[in-house]
Chain A
Amino acid sequence: MRVVIVEDNALLREGIVALLRERDVDVVAQAEDGPGLLRILAGHKPDLAIVDVRLAPSFTDEGLRAAIEARRRHPGLAVLILSQYVEPVYTAELLAEGEGGVGYLLKERVGDVRAFIDALERVAAGGTALDREVVAQLVEARRGGDGGALEALTPREREVLELMAEGRTNAAIARKMVVRPGAVEKHISSIFSKLDLPASDDDHRRVLAVLTFLQSGG
């Protein structure tokens, strides 16, 4: 897997690079700001870009804007946003643009190396990896709110939905919840019918559909 990293804090950039190299992830280029991302993308054609949200010069959401622009310019580019805070609005914007894998994780998740590498692989393969914090905020937002369809979900189904939004496969969800894969499939089709979403075989599109629903309700 060929990866580029955009992070303005040298300590963190070097930490992530060292950690990835130990796991044989090929870090082909590094940059410190938004324009830097677009520059290294053109030269290196990576599978995945890891991008910090806050970057020079404005130190607001430069990284996010650069990532959105990068996805527009390089269709199919997988982007994993790493940030010290989650903002569901930013997730929605990221998902709204283009195709290809998308991830949004809190930086401290990197410390759980195995889960982080899993997330990288999932995103590079076109899947999603949304921080459980993002999912929690989104689901919390809808809960008990506009009398929406989410209220109709059972706690079990909600749990499945959260795991789906994190980007986990049916098998992974079954392992996590300690149930048979068949039970997960049943929950998922029940969720789809309750949320009035057409079923699809594709994990990624499935999660996107769920997230789009979650974000468009407000």
Chain B
Amino acid sequence: MALSLHAAFTVLLDALLTVVWAATGGGSFWPIWVWFGTAIPVAVHALVFDAVRRPRERHKALIVHAQATGLLVGIYIVIWALAGFGYFWPAWPTFALVAALGAHWIVAHRERLPQARERELVERVDELTRTRRGALDVQAAELRRIERDLHDGAQARLVSLTMLMGRAEERLDDRPEVAELVRRAREEASAAIGELRDLARGIAPPVLADRGLQAAVEALARRSLTPVTVEARIERRPPPVVETAAYFVAAESLTNVAKHGGGAAAHVTIEGDAERVVVEVTDDGPGGADPGGSGLTGLRHRVEALDGTLTVTSAPGATRVRAELPCGS
């Protein structure tokens, strides 16, 4: 409304002065300067009016800046034209104004670029986390399958072999030196079975696969050389890969207590819900656990591969190994 009034008033004024020019006998057409001079406030008014009315959008400041630049460049060109053309000096201020506008554009877009980059990186991290977790789950499942295959395959065949050799031995009573050879062969087969058993136990002890984390850690505690108490609250069975990692945290820590704890008592707490499993092993031994040692480093790798954290604090009378493992549902 105000803008229309302003424009109407300007047109009226310009017309009036043109009439005055005509009435005073013409001559040099000076009203054109009046037109020009009064048009500028109208244009500025229009620009401000538009800037105020424009909704808040992403690059409002940049758009207003571009409009103002356009207006100024227009004014320069009109002045150049009114002044009788000649040397095109408006090129210089135009150049400066466009440079300022360019700088503004870069600043505005530099802000936007990292956002897009960041989004891309977040997506990539999500994807990597998911696929790594998938790979680990597959690996855990594969290891348990290998353990089962050993049990049902190679181990069973070796057991069958020892039975056959045992029967052969029985029939060689009259040839003791051959019977002795067969007995030695059977013992070799038994040793191979023992080695396969140790290998399978290293993948995951049978009681862990059979009964779960609490039973397996309790079995560890029962076998431990030092007194161990176990406290477990596990709401639901974690995925095998998490279960195995949690088990080895407890196993390695208890081995360390037995080795370096000087007979100290250890306490294991396990807390598990749908989201995570936390295993904590504390002992009142002499301390001095080395977080950079090979055992703890191995555990750290195992835990960190699952996006978990392993913290070790060790002081005389209080050593604590704590692993927090997300279940990654």
Interface residues of A (CB under 8 A from B): 9, 11-12, 15-16, 18-19, 22, 54, 59-61, 84-85, 87-90, 106-108, 110-114, 116, 137, 140-141, 143-147, 215, 218
Contact = CB atoms under 8 A, between A and B. Distances in A.
A88 B206 CA distance: 12
Interface stretch (B35-43, B87-95, B193-201, B233-241): B193-201
B170 A145 contact: no
Given A110-B166, A112-B166, A61 B210 contact: yes
Nearest to A87: B207
Contacts of B157: 11
B212 to A, nearest CB: 10
Contact of A110 (B162, B169, B201): B162
Interface in B141-185: 148, 151-152, 155-160, 162-167, 169-170
A111 B186 contact: yes
A200 B263 CA distance: 34
A18 B163 CA distance: 9
A88 B263 CA distance: 22
Nearest to A54: B151
B157 to A, nearest CB: 7
A143 B221 CA distance: 13
Contact of A22 (B170, B186, B227, B263): B170
Given A12-B163, A116-B166, A145-B224, 4 more contacts: A15-B163, A108-B162, A110-B159, A111-B189
A146 B265 CA distance: 9
A59 B148 contact: yes
B92 to A, nearest CB: 87
A205 B132 CA distance: 55
Interface of B: 148, 151-152, 155-160, 162-167, 169-170, 186, 189-190, 193, 197, 200-201, 206-207, 209-211, 215, 218-219, 221-228, 263
B224 A141 contact: yes
B169 A113 contact: yes
Given A108-B190, A141-B222, A141-B223, A11 B160 contact: yes
Nearest to B159: A107
Contacts of B200: 85
A15 B167 CA distance: 10
Contacts of B162: 108, 110-111
A90 B148 CA distance: 19
A111 B148 CA distance: 22
A64 B207 CA distance: 12
Contacts of B263: 144, 147
B182 to A, nearest CB: 10
Contacts of A60: 209-211
Contacts of A144: 225, 263
A18 to B, nearest CB: 7
Contacts of A15: 159-160, 163-164
